[in-house]
Structure 1
Amino acid sequence: MIVALHTRVRPDRAAEYEAAHREVPEALTSAIRAAGVTSWTIWRSGTELFHRLECEDYARLLAALEHLPVNVAWQARMSELLDVDHDYSLAGAQASLPVVWQL
């Protein structure tokens, strides 16, 4: 499935957010792949962040990562940098941005 998400970085933390993503822990990327993600891209326009990920099952992905220590630490770090966090309490298609148009 394809999931599209929107978050927002704090204006004074954009450089730090980008720097953090150049150093995503290998244990986290391995866990994300093991949970069924085949692709995850994040674009930034000013403070707006747009995520597109492909995975087998988004709800299963969230459940697999929820209590994983490396992910808990990563989410704590990201919450310091973001104005708008992704609401991980929502799972499946309703957590994703709705499709408006597709070619």
Structure 2
Amino acid sequence: MIVALHSVLKPGAVDGYRVEHAAVPDDLDAAFSRVGIRGWTIWRSGERLFHVVDCDDFDAAIAALDDDPANLAWQASIGRWVEVFRDADGAEGFAPLEQVWSLAAQRAGSAP
């Protein structure tokens, strides 16, 4: 499955976030592999970040990472740059965004 997420950086945090997120730690990469996260890409527009996650099961992966030491350390480190995650309605929350349209789904004749 592929999900998109939206987060917002703290004011003035763009450069620090770029440096911090140049690479994730090897133990976090290994944890992602263990929980079925195959890919994670982040795009930026101003202080807004848009994440695309390719994984087996997003909810299961995130639940498995909740108490993972590598993820906890990473969240403590990267969290100093991130103000908030937003859900599909713009409310605070770590939930996938709504997929509105997909060219691949349209071509396959299925809904996104």
Same fold (TM over 0.5): yes
Q: Give the aligned residue type for 1:54.
A: D
Gaps of 5+ in 1: 89-94
Normalised TM-score (structure 2): 0.79
Q: CA shift at 1:28, angstroms?
A: 0.3
Q: In percent, how many aligned pairs have the same letter?
A: 42
**Count of aligned positions:** 97
Partner of 1:20: 20
Normalised TM-score (structure 1): 0.85
Gaps of 5+ in 2: 87-92, 104-112
* CA distance in structure 1 between the partners assigned to 2:72 and 2:53 by the alignment: 20
Between structure 1 and structure 2, the one with the greater Rg is: 2
Q: Which runs of 4+ in 1 moved over 2 A?
A: 85-88
Name the Cα RMSD after superposition: 1.4
Q: Secondary structure at the match of 2:80?
A: helix
Q: CA shift at 1:8, angstroms?
A: 0.6
* Structure ranking higher on relative contact order (CA contacts 8 Å, 6+ apart): 1
